[in-house]
Amino acid sequence: MKTISLNGTWQLRGREQESDRQTVITMSAEVPGSIALDLSQNGYLPKDLFMGENIRSTEQFEGYEWWYERCFTAPEERENVFLVFEGVDCLADYYLNGQHIGSSENMMIAHEFEVGAYLCEGENMLCVHLHSAVVAAHYEDLTIHGFPSWNNAVIQTSIRRAPHTYGWDIMPRAVTAGLWRGVRLEVRDEIYFSQLFFHTKELSCTAMYELKCRWKDLKNVEVVFKGSCGGDSSFEEHVLVNGVKAAVCNLNIQNPKQWMPYGYGTPNVYEVTAQIFKDGRLIHEKKDSFGLRSVVLERTDVTDGEHGCFRFLINGIEIMCKGSNWVPLDAFHSRDAQRYERALALVKDIGCNILRCWGGNVYEDHAFFDFCDRNGIMVWQDFSMACRIYPENERFQALISKEATAVIRKLRNHPSIILWSGDNETDHNYRRIGDPSQNRLTRELLPNVVKLNDIGRPYLASSPYVSGEYHNRIKEMGISSPEDHLWGARDYFKSDYYKNSKAHFVSETGYHGCPSLESIKRFITPERVWPYQNNPEWILHSSDQEGNDSRVLLMEKQVIQLFGALPKAPEDYVLASQISQAEAKKYFIERMRVGRPQKTGIIWWNLLDGWPQMSDAVVDYYFTKKLAYSYIKRAQAPFAIIAGEIKDWKLPIYACNDTLESRCGHFCVRDAESGKLLLEKSFDARANATTQIATLPIYYSSHQVLIFTWEENGRSGMNHYLCGYPPINFEWYCQILRQYGLQQDGKDVVTLAP
Q: Is the pLDDT of residue 750 over 70?
A: no
Answer yes or no: is 610 within a domain.
Answer: no
Q: What is the mean pLDDT of the chain?
A: 94
Answer yes or no: is 612 within a domain.
Answer: no
- In percent, the amount of the chain with pLDDT more than 70 equals 96
Q: Which residues pair with 233 in a beta bridge?
A: 229
Question: What's the rounded Cα separation, in Å, for the pair 375 and 360?
Answer: 25
For residues 20 and 157, membership in a common domain is answered with yes
Q: Is the pLDDT of residue 752 over 80?
A: no
Structure confidence at residue 153 (pLDDT): 56
What pLDDT, in 10s, does the model give residues 59-107? 999 999 999 999 999 999 999 999 999 999 999 999 999 999 999 999 9
- Residue that is last in its domain, among 290, 306, 333: 290
What pLDDT, in 10s, does the model give residues 597-645? 999 999 999 999 999 999 999 999 999 999 999 999 999 999 999 999 9
Structure confidence at residue 698 (pLDDT): 93
Instruction: Dihedral sign for Cα 31, 37, 42, 48, please.
Output: negative
Structure confidence at residue 708 (pLDDT): 96
Answer yes or no: is 590 within a domain.
Answer: no
- Across the range 509-524, mean pLDDT stands at 97
Structure confidence at residue 148 (pLDDT): 52
Question: What's the rounded Cα separation, in Å, for the pair 575 and 404?
Answer: 43
For residues 103 and 119, membership in a common domain is answered with yes
Domain encompassing residue 27: 2-187
For residues 44 and 167, membership in a common domain is answered with yes
- Across the range 639-656, mean pLDDT stands at 96
For residues 205 and 176, membership in a common domain is answered with no
- Residue that is last in its domain, among 187, 211, 243: 187
- Which of the two residues, 156 and 655, has the higher pLDDT score? 655
Q: Is the pLDDT of residue 659 over 80?
A: yes
Q: Is the pLDDT of residue 477 over 80?
A: no
For residues 161 and 279, membership in a common domain is answered with no
For residues 136 and 228, membership in a common domain is answered with no
CATH number for 255: 2.60.40.10
Answer yes or no: is 305 within a domain.
Answer: no
- Across the range 436-462, mean pLDDT stands at 96
* 3-class SS of residue 630: helix
Q: Is the pLDDT of residue 143 over 80?
A: no
CA neighbor of 523 nearest in space, from 543, 549, 551: 543
What H or E segment, with its residue span, contains residue 91? strand 91-96
Confidence of residue 749 (pLDDT cuts 50, 70, 90): very low
Q: Which residues contact 512 (CB under 8 A, 6 or more apart)?
A: 490, 551, 554, 555, 558, 577, 580, 581, 614, 615, 616
Q: Which residues contact 539 (CB under 8 A, 6 or more apart)?
A: 547, 548, 549, 551, 552
Answer yes or no: is 703 within a domain.
Answer: yes
Q: Would you give the end-to-end CA distance of the chain in angstroms?
A: 57
- Which of the two residues, 646 and 742, has the higher pLDDT score? 646
Q: How many CB atoms lie within 10 A of CB 526?
A: 8
Structure confidence at residue 152 (pLDDT): 52
- Residue that is last in its domain, among 424, 447, 472: 472
For residues 7 and 99, membership in a common domain is answered with yes
How many independent structural domains does the chain possess? 4
Region label for 375, one of left (φ > 0), alpha (ψ between -120 and 50) or beta (otherwise): alpha
What pLDDT, in 10s, does the model give residues 712-732? 988 999 999 999 999 999 999
Structure confidence at residue 546 (pLDDT): 85
Answer yes or no: is 111 within a domain.
Answer: yes
- Across the range 160-180, mean pLDDT stands at 94
Structure confidence at residue 61 (pLDDT): 96
Where helices occur in 109-150 by DSSP H, the ranges are 133-138
For residues 48 and 181, membership in a common domain is answered with yes
* 3-class SS of residue 604: strand
For the full predicted model, state whether its pTM sits above 0.85: yes
Structure confidence at residue 154 (pLDDT): 59
CATH number for 394: 3.20.20.80
Question: What's the rounded Cα separation, in Å, for the pair 617 and 609?
Answer: 6
Length of the chain: 754
Q: Is the pLDDT of residue 370 over 60?
A: yes
Confidence of residue 751 (pLDDT cuts 50, 70, 90): very low
- Across the range 577-586, mean pLDDT stands at 97
Q: Which residues contact 499 (CB under 8 A, 6 or more apart)?
A: 591, 645
For residues 144 and 218, membership in a common domain is answered with no
CA neighbor of 709 nearest in space, from 742, 675, 738, 734: 675
Question: What's the rounded Cα separation, in Å, for the pair 485 and 465?
Answer: 10
For residues 30 and 79, membership in a common domain is answered with yes
CATH number for 33: 2.60.120.260
* 3-class SS of residue 558: helix
What pLDDT, in 10s, does the model give residues 62-72? 999 999 999 99
DSSP 634-684: HHTSSEEEEE---BTTEEEEEEEE-SSS-EEEEEEEEETTT--EEEEEEEE
